[in-house]
Structure 1
Amino acid sequence: MEVSVLNIKGEDTGRKVALNEAVFGIEPNDHAIYLDVRRYLAAQRQGTAKAKERSEMSGSTRKLGRQKGGGGARRGDINSPVLVGGARVFGPKPRDYSFKLNKKVKALARRSALSYKVQENALVVVEDFNIEAPKTKSFIEILNNLKISDKKVLMVMPEVNKNVYLSARNLQCTKVAVASDVHTYGVLDAGVMVVTESALAKMEAVLTK
């Protein structure tokens, strides 16, 4: 499977790059994608919700009413959960929502997501480039040249490029990622994925181990 390589002016360079079938041409596994996206979203949760239980409440421990004959529950002191302002039964406690997923499942999920992008013609390969100074205007010009300025874009670079990152930072629908950090959720969340030639080689190296 071959894809044309464009330059940042949106012009065809006349060169083609062969996509690794083991990474970009597999039959997508939807369940692996589901598990990896669920893992990613779970890891984003803060898990800081907390409600006081009866033993943590500050208030009088005096029994408010008689044990019998009141016509209601034996609610005890003012901290009772059945009273307004009282404690909460089985309330939330700080916890870690993250869970482990096997490496092979995560890799399969990423390959499946990338294969979907190829099937949808939503993968654009550009030759390696750099932006001389961090300017949002320069990055927008690249998106306009590639005719993807109206889409949600994931730009994948081979390594950290400060100027490219700063140029795209103010654009709400654009994210810049390093090839080794590309994850399933990021791929699926993007409408179009723009990958440089060097980044493409690094992604294939990581996902074919």
Structure 2
Amino acid sequence: MEVIVKNIKGQDTSKKVTLNDGVFGVEPNDHAIYLDVKQYLAAQRQGTAKSKERSEMSGSTRKLGRQKGGGGARRGDINSPVLVGGARVFGPKPRNYDFKLNKKVKQLARRSALSYKVKEDALIVVEDFTFDAPKTKSFIELLNNLQIADKKALVVVAGADKNVYLSSRNLPKAKVAAAADLNTYGVLDAAVMVVTESAVAKIEEVLAK
């Protein structure tokens, strides 16, 4: 599939980029997308929730009432989970929520997400660009020229570009990502993707294997 390359002024150029059908034109696999997004969100969880169990509570270990004949539930010391202010049974403990996902499944998920963007006509290819200095005004001008200032945008560049990243940092609806760091969640979360020419080649290099 051929896509016309735009410049940073939003104008069509004479150049065209041929998108690899094995990356941008596959039949989307929704289950692979679900698994990859689930893993991404699980990895973001802190997993630091913690409550005290019976052995960790401070308090007397004296048995408060007799074992039988009281008319209520049997209980031991003041730390018993059946009492108000007592310990919690099977409470949360610090843990890692991340889980393993096969590399081929992750790649299929990313190809599926990119294919959805192409089908929705939500992928724009622009010439390679950079800014002389970090300037939010320059980044806003780029979005305005591409007529996507009111949309949630993901700008993908070939490699880490500090000036472009810092220029977008104050904009809540805009994100900048390097092609190597592209993930399924980031692609789907954006309403429109802006990809530089060299970033297209980098994405195809990683996902066409």
Q: TM-score range by the shorter chain?
A: over 0.9
Q: Give TM-score scaled by structure 1 length.
A: 0.99
SS of 2:124's partner is strand
The reply to whether residue 186 of structure 1 matches residue 186 of structure 2 is yes
2:208 partner letter = T
1:205 offset after TM fit, Å?
0.3
CA distance in 1, matches of 2:125, 2:155: 10
Alignment of 1:78-97 (within 5 A): 78-97=78-97
Q: Deviations over 1:14-35 (max 9, x none)?
A: 2111000000000000000000
Q: Could you tell me how far 1:63 is from its partner in structure 2?
A: 0.8
Cα distance between partner residues in 2 of 1:26 and 1:81: 55
What's the counterpart of residue 163 of structure 1? 163
SS in 2 for 1:68: coil
Matched AA of 1:147: Q
Distance, in Å, in 2 between the alignment partners of 1:117 and 1:51 is 44
Query: Which amino acid is 2:44 matched to?
Result: Q
User: What's the CA shift for 1:208?
Assistant: 1.1
- Name the CA distance, whole Å, in 2 between partners of 1:68 and 1:83: 17
Identity of aligned residues (%): 79
In structure 2, C-alpha distance between the alignment counterparts of 1:162 and 1:93, rounded to whole Å: 39
- Hey, what does 2:15 align to over in structure 1? 15
The TM-score normalised by the length of structure 2 is 0.99
Residues 27-84 of structure 1: per-residue CA shift (max 9 Å, x gap): 0000000000000000000100001110111100011112222111111100000101
| Coordinate RMSD, CA, aligned | 0.5
Which residue does the alignment assign to 1:195?
195
Deviation of 1:155 (Å): 0.4
Residue in 1 that maps onto 2:48: 48
Runs of 4+ in 1 over 4 A off after TM superposition: none
Matches within 5 A, 1:125-140: 125-140=125-140
Letter in 1 for 2:112: S
Task: Report the 3-state secondary structure (helix = DSSP H, G, I; strand = E; otherwise coil) of the residue aligned with 1:39.
Answer: helix
Determine helix, strand or coil for the equivalent of 1:13.
strand
Question: Which stretches in structure 2 are left out of the alignment for 5+ residues?
Answer: none
Unaligned regions of 5+ residues in structure 1, if any?
none
- Distance in 2 of aligned mates of 1:73 and 1:6: 75
Within 5 Å, give how 1:64-143 maps onto structure 2.
Answer: 64-143=64-143
Separation (CA, whole Å) in 2 of partners of 1:37 and 1:66: 54
